[in-house]
Amino acid sequence: LVAMSLPALALLGLEAPAADREAAEAEAALYFSGNRLLAGSEPAAHCYCGHQFGSFAGQLGDGAAMYLGEVLGPRGERWEIQLKGAGLTPFSRQADGRKVLRSSIREFLCSEAMFHLGIPTTRAGTCVTSDSKVVRDIFYDGNPKSERCTVVLRIASTFIRFGSFEIFKPTDEYTGRKGPSVNRNDIRIQMLDYVISTFYPEIQEAYSDNTIQRNAAFFKEVTKRTARLVAEWQCVGFCHGVLNTDNMSIVGLTIDYGPFGFMDRYDPEHICNGSDNTGRYAYNKQPEICKWNLGKLAEALVPELPLEISELILEEEYDAEFEKHYLQKMRKKLGLIQLELEEDSKLVSELLETMHLTGGDFTNTFYLLSSFSIDSDPSKLEDFLEKLTSQCASVEELKVAFKPQMDPRQLSMMLMLAQSNPQLFALIGTKANINKELERIEQFSKLQQLTAADLLSRNKRQWKEWLEKYRVRLQKEIESISDADTWNTDRVRVMNSNNPKYILRNYIAQNAIEAAENGDFSEVRNVLKLLENPFQEAEYFREVQEDAEEEGATATAAACAQETRSRLPYCSKPPLWASELCVT
């Protein structure tokens, strides 16, 4: 057993007795590796299709996940449980159905991190590893390595996806692929009846005598849940990485944790998946991509829900629900608890623009704002600016971020090609990619002349401008209430329960993975414990603050010495070596 989440296992009515923890861990390893079946289990794998990176891929299915069955929990809730990584299924295609320690630790930790952040998600109960090895080419670069097979116990009300309804899709006009159950409308009806009566019983009850109305109400609810889910992601800087239709939950959960990432330095175009070459699933594209995926679900529900009805629902509901939920959440993050003003949306976008210009750490900038003092004492403002600018990117970090990625000869050839043969250019590159590279080169050359002192003074000036607007907006809150002290206490409380101190940053996950690959699972367990209380100062960990400035600490950290790595506080913005991490 690498680790287990007691809050997740409690859903199934399981607990680890303090007296005999060792026996409980051994039992968990036995059953949740798939080596012994739970009584009543009927292992199965789920067949689904999907649009992957915008193209219909045909039949996919659970290639590495096996249902064990459904558990009736102590509170009367039904939970489906499945093992991910336990071996071959009928849908493994050319793969072996196994998962490895690296990816399993990431899925296990992030499932639980998201739950404790208050974001709808599938859960993870255990992570069990093995001495068996499989070979994986992590970066698809011809350098395979042996990794330990690992299994995660996943828990959810259902694992049915948008792609589950795409098994009926007739031949796709672009890819020539089709679903395995074309013309089987009887199965589509059966699935809709099951999903709606089981997971949307109030809709089933309200429209029991009109199937079209019932299906429309169901699609509307899925649309709204999906919009709210993505708004939650955007507000914590979470990037999913692979928002294919087969990775979208029919009940609005975050599902399938692969090359995900929490954004560190705020960059609206942040891409967390190293194999997303076109940036289809970049941070700022997530809302529109999820809307596109809902469009594909709408197509998959025809004829049980005519397209003219579902398309109208999508247009009327999705954007409005997303904007409403996003702004509500952002108001809480900024402590705007009294008034809802139209100008709030502009204040949020100006904050994000300032964060972008200064390379501010997304999580830590929001976390700091609760300590902003509304009175206009210059020395307090100066102290606060010091704290805020310490969360901005250093010259070194910016040089890494804007380092040109193309060979100059390749770039010059692409520019010539764009002029002389636009058709050929369109096959091998995009105008957006070239423009981005030119922008990188320009930024990189400016950075060569920039001193740390210049950067600091520029950052302070930009933050000062935004903080003045923020102060004016907070002042309006005060004018509408009678007791400023109570308001301030409430404001800080709301902000501190909406702005996490701890998230699963890539470098934190990487440290835990490297320790586990060397046989030490304590860091995985420590991080799990930390992520169970993301909004609180971790007393459990006596976090050591380095005396040296972080710049000094990261210089040695760049040498990747394990002991240096682990000394950074878990709430710290990432060290320089973290920028080299690539998740595919």
Residue 36 structure tokens: 């012994």
276 is known as an active-site residue = no
For residue 348, which of 367, 368, 334, 365 has the smallest C-alpha distance? 334
Task: Please tell me the total number of residues recorded for the chain in this structure.
Answer: 584
What 8-state DSSP symbol labels residue 119?
-
Q: Which of 62, 246, 267, 276 is catalytic?
A: 246
Residue type, 509: A
Question: Rounded distance, CA 541 to CA 567, Å?
Answer: 12
| Count of other CB atoms within 10 angstroms of residue 161 | 26
Secondary structure of residue 361 in the 3-state scheme: strand
Per-residue buried b or exposed e for 214-244, using 16+ beta carbons within 10 Å of the residue's own CB? bbbbbbbbbbbbbbbbbbbbbbbbbbbbbbb
Question: Rounded distance, CA 197 to CA 208, Å?
Answer: 10
Classify burial at 8, counting beta carbons within 10 Å of its beta carbon; exposed 0-12, middle 13-18, buried 19 or more.
Answer: buried
Token pair 């904050």 is found at: 351
Radius of gyration over every alpha carbon of the chain, rounded to an integer in angstroms: 25
Phi, psi of 3 (to 5 degrees): -165, 160
Q: Can you say whether the dihedral through the CA atoms of 128, 130, 133, 139 is positive or negative?
A: positive
CA dihedral 433, 439, 444, 447 (to 10 degrees): -150
Residue 365 structure tokens: 């900038």
Question: Rounded distance, CA 540 to CA 122, Å?
Answer: 26
What 8-state DSSP symbol labels residue 146?
E
Question: Rounded distance, CA 493 to CA 510, Å?
Answer: 32
Token pair 């629900």 is found at: 321
Question: Rounded distance, CA 233 to CA 235, Å?
Answer: 5
DSSP 13-32: T----GGGHHHHHHHHHHHT
Question: Rounded distance, CA 301 to CA 249, Å?
Answer: 15
Taking CA atoms, 506 is separated from 33, 47, 540, in Å, by 26, 32, 21
Catalytic machinery residues? 246
